[in-house]
């Protein structure tokens, strides 16, 4: 019997409270799916409150990320709202449980990127993005940002950085929906991630 090979995928993992980082996750996934031969797998992580109060855990529309999801991905995108200039405790907890993959080198040379959202313009987006990049660099992953070549970064007024896609929700009195420009930035980031992952897979399979 011939064993069927599963389609390569990019794992998109997000933590979200207001829904902004979830919107970015889906825009990144759309970009991933533009790349022929690659698909996006969207997953979330439980909050620390949900981990403590398992009987009161929120119902999720998206499945939680598993260690197998991470181990078998061809590339990774992770996103979180900014919490005092850092990622959410739920995403931090999930990343801290990946030491087994660090010991085995399971994520070495796989491409990765990050994304975030904040309520205010200077809400700590860039420090959050860089803090999310740190454990990925410890895993030996190939870090991808957002190039200025497309021009979208020069047009945005609600987010977007060279370190990763982002969005400013503006708080409760503003429109929480992504603008077309922020959607485009996230989409381009996802497409770039998938294209690099595909190129690395082709090189690996040709050796």
Q: Is 53 domain-assigned? A: no
Indicate the number of domains in the chain: 1
Q: Is 199 domain-assigned? A: yes
Give pLDDT, residue 204.
Answer: 84
Q: Is 67 domain-assigned? A: yes
Count the residues in the chain.
Answer: 207
- Per-residue pLDDT, averaged over 95-108, amounts to 96
Q: Is 3 domain-assigned? A: no
Q: Is 1 domain-assigned? A: no
Mean pLDDT, all residues of the chain: 89
Q: Is 50 domain-assigned? A: no
Give pLDDT, residue 58.
Answer: 53
- DSSP secondary structure string for all residues of 105-161: TTTTT-EEEEEEEESSTTSSHHHHHHHHHHHHHHTTPEE----STTSGGGT-SS--B
Q: Is the pLDDT of residue 117 over 60?
A: yes
- Asked if residues 112 and 147 have their Cβ atoms less than 8 Å apart, the reply is no
Helices 20-33 and 180-206 cross at an angle (nearest 10°) of 50
Q: Is 142 domain-assigned? A: yes
Measuring CA to CA, which residue among 75, 77, 72 is closest to residue 22?
77
Structural domain boundaries enclosing 131: 9-45+59-206
- Rounded Cα–Cα distance for residues 201 and 186 (Å): 23
Give pLDDT, residue 172.
Answer: 61
- Estimate to the nearest angstrom the gap between the alpha carbon of 111 and the chain centroid: 11
- Per-residue pLDDT, averaged over 24-41, amounts to 95
Least confident of 32-36, 53-57, 110-114, 194-198: 53-57
> Please, is 183 exposed, middle or buried when counting C-beta atoms within 10 Å of its C-beta (0-12, 13-18, 19+)?
buried
- Per-residue pLDDT, averaged over 36-62, amounts to 75
Which tens digits make up the pLDDT trace of 148-197? 987 889 998 888 899 999 999 876 645 678 889 999 999 999 999 999 99
Q: Is 184 domain-assigned? A: yes
Q: Give me the CATH number covering residue 166.
A: 3.40.50.360
Q: Is the pLDDT of residue 35 over 60?
A: yes
DSSP 8-state symbol, 6: P
Give pLDDT, residue 175.
Answer: 61
């Amino acid at each position: 019997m011939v064993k069927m090979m599963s389609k390569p995928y990019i794992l998109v993992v997000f933590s979200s409270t207001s829904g902004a980082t979830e919107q970015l996750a889906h825009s990144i996934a759309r970009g991933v799916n533009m790349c022929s031969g690659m698909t996006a797998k969207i997953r979330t992580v439980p909050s620390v409150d949900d981990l403590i109060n398992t009987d009161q855990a929120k119902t999720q529309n998206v499945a939680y990320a598993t260690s197998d999801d991470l181990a078998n991905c061809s590339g990774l995108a992770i996103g979180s709202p900014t919490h005092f200039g850092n990622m959410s405790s739920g995403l931090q907890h999930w990343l801290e449980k990946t030491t087994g993959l660090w010991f085995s080198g399971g994520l070495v040379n796989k491409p990765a990127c990050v994304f975030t959202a904040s309520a205010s313009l200077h809400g700590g987006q860039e420090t959050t993005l860089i803090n999310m990049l740190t454990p990925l660099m410890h895993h030996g992953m190939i870090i991808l940002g957002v190039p200025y070549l497309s021009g979208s970064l020069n047009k945005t007024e609600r987010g977007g950085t060279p370190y990763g896609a982002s969005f400013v929700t503006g708080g409760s009195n503003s429109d929480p929906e992504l603008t077309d420009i922020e959607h485009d930035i996230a989409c381009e980031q996802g497409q770039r991630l998938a294209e690099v992952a595909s190129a690395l897979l082709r090189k690996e399979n040709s050796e």
